[in-house]
Amino acid sequence: MTKLIVIIPAYNEAKTIGNVIQGVKKYTDNIIVIDDGSKDNTYQTALQSGAKVYRHQINRGLGGALGTGIEAALLNDGDIIVTLDADGQHNPNEIPNLIKPIIKGKADIVIGSRFLKNQSMPFFRRLGNYFFNLMTFIFFGIYTTDSQSGMRAFNKKVAQNLKIYTNKMEVSSEIIKQVRANQFRLKETHIKAIYTPYSLAKGQGFFVGLKTLGKLLILKLTQ
Amino acid sequence: MTLIQFLAIGLTILILLKTISDFKKNRINLLAFLFWTGLWSSVIIVAALPQITMPLAKISGLERGIDVVVYFAIVFIFFLLFKIIAKLEKIEYEITQIVRKNALQKQNNRPQKKI
Ligand SMILES: Nc1nc2c(ncn2[C@@H]2O[C@H](COP(=O)(O)OP(=O)(O)OP(=O)(O)O)[C@@H](O)[C@H]2O)c(=O)[nH]1
Ligand SMILES: [Mg+2]
């Protein structure tokens, strides 16, 4: 049996994490939440919802949380690993479609892309995402339609070989960088972009974008 | 000698003394010591005798040789800045590793559910 593990990085997501976990349970009970030093009840809520929770003592950022999640998934003998956001932006019902290419052995890593089909997205988010697709291509040589997507699936081989050095939002591009370095087979599948007022209020803005760009430049220059 | 030259030389000598004392206390290695001593000594020489930068002016086409020195100084500062940022990134990464190890171990000590 292939074991599916879903990793959910979470920072102050007590309001939404319970629902996300319930949604994932339809597909697997193997749910790992990385509580990234939240100041709210994320830890308790996730635990009560039935996830296995690992807690960062201090906040490290998305990259730090994903790195911990991947290591935890390997410790728990995962064969297929899915990552999705805790803020409710990803629909767990898309998990089967996401992992299909991996189960069939057609891909090592699948990125859930919000841009394969036309769908509505706030204009500046769309622009920002295109920009980062372009920068990721210029820096690391792979073009994807959604380099910043937080919903992805990969197999054990990828989990074992991914070396994540970055701590924050730049991790999404870093993973794509490593796809190329390790010659993983990459596929994209369509996912819906869910923009709730909650996720928009919490989500990332222009200045985080600038910082992320700076970090990618450092990553490019130092490695 | 102008006041600014005087100040520059005085300050640089202090920095040079600090470099020497750092080396004596084993805070920096031989390579760093030689590099910094060389750099600060040349700063003192240029500050004391700015006219020795004249050939630089000829080669570069700039009017004053001292301008060339200042340009290089700016480039050098950027290089240092880059080094510092890279070092910070490394430290951030190391902190994450500690936090991660801790999170993974704690989980093992107080078993929740088996997945
Ligand atoms: N902002 C933030 N999110 C974190 C952190 N650590 C883990 N996360 C999780 O990372 C996921 C994505 O975070 P978001 O801030 O929504 O970023 P995003 O979805 O890429 O950006 P938006 O499209 O603006 O929502 C969420 O599940 C967060 O809970 C952190 O330190 N900061
Ligand atoms: Mg979000």
**Confidence band, pLDDT 50/70/90 cuts, at residue B68:** confident
> What is the model's pTM?
0.86
- High-pLDDT (> 70) share of chain A, %: 100
- High-pLDDT (> 70) share of chain B, %: 96
Q: Is the predicted pLDDT of residue B109 greater than 70, yes or no?
A: no
Sequence-ordered list of residues with C-beta below 8 angstroms from that of A218, at least 6 positions apart, any chain: B85, B86, B89
Give burial (CB, 10 Å; 0-12/13-18/19+) of A17: buried
The predicted model gives A134-162 an average pLDDT of 97
Mutate: best of B88, B91, B107, B114, partner A, most A CBs <10 A: B107
Quick check: B113 and A56 CB within 8 A?
no
A 143-202 residues with CB below 8 A of B?
165, 167
**Confidence band, pLDDT 50/70/90 cuts, at residue B56:** confident
| CATH of A4-222 given 3.40.50.300, 3.90.1150.10, 3.20.130.10, 3.90.550.10 | 3.90.550.10
Provide the token pair at A95: 């998990």
**ipTM over cut 0.85:** yes
Q: Is the CB of A43 under 6 A from ligand 1?
A: no
B 23-42 residues with CB below 8 A of A?
none
Mutate: best of A33, A42, A222, A223, partner B, most B CBs <10 A: A222
Nearest to A68 among B85, B103, B112 (CB): B103
> Of A116, A112, A26, A33, which is closest to residue A73 (Cα–Cα)?
A33
Query: For residue A1, how far is its CA from the centre of ligand 2 (angstroms)?
Result: 32
Contacts for A41-47: CB closer than 8 Å, 24+ residues apart: A41/A14, A42/A10, A42/A11, A42/A12, A42/A13, A42/A14, A42/A17, A42/A86, A44/A14, A45/A14, A45/A17, A45/A18, A46/A8, A46/A10, A46/A17, A46/A18, A46/A21, A47/B112
**CB A196, CB A122: distance < 8 Å:** no
Q: Is the predicted pLDDT of residue A2 greater than 70, yes or no?
A: yes
Write out pLDDT tens, residues A153-198. Answer: 999 999 999 999 999 999 999 999 999 999 999 999 999 989 988 8
Residues A148 and A131: their CA atoms lie apart, in Å, by: 10
CA of residue B91 relative to chain centroid, distance:
17
Query: For residue A211, how far is its CA from the centre of ligand 1 (angstroms)?
Result: 14
Residues A50 and A32: their CA atoms lie apart, in Å, by: 9
Which amino acid, A167?
N
Residues A93 and A85: their CA atoms lie apart, in Å, by: 13
Residues A111 and A175: their CA atoms lie apart, in Å, by: 11
Edge-to-edge strand ranges of the sheet holding A109-113: A52-55, A31-35, A4-10, A80-83, A152-155, A109-113, A186-190
Task: Work out which ligand 1 atom sits closest to the CA atom of A66.
Answer: 7
Sequence-ordered list of residues with C-beta below 8 angstroms from that of A57, at least 6 positions apart, any chain: A37, B99, B102, B103
Quick check: A167 and B92 CB within 8 A?
yes
Query: For residue A94, how far is its CA from the centre of ligand 2 (angstroms)?
Result: 17
Least confident of A25-29, A96-100, B44-48, B106-110: B106-110
pLDDT at B110: 65
pLDDT at A201: 86
> Of A125, A209, A206, A141, which is closest to residue A179 (Cα–Cα)?
A141
Provide the token pair at A99: 């992992």
Residue B96 DSSP code: H
Where residue A90 falls (left for φ over 0; alpha for ψ -120 to 50; beta otherwise) is beta
Residues A40 and B44: their CA atoms lie apart, in Å, by: 57
Write out pLDDT tens, residues B27-53. Answer: 889 999 999 999 999 999 999 998 888
For chain A, the first-to-last Cα distance in angstroms comes to: 38
A67: which chain B residues are within 8 Å (Cβ-Cβ)? 96, 100
Query: For residue A85, how far is its CA from the centre of ligand 1 (angstroms)?
Result: 7
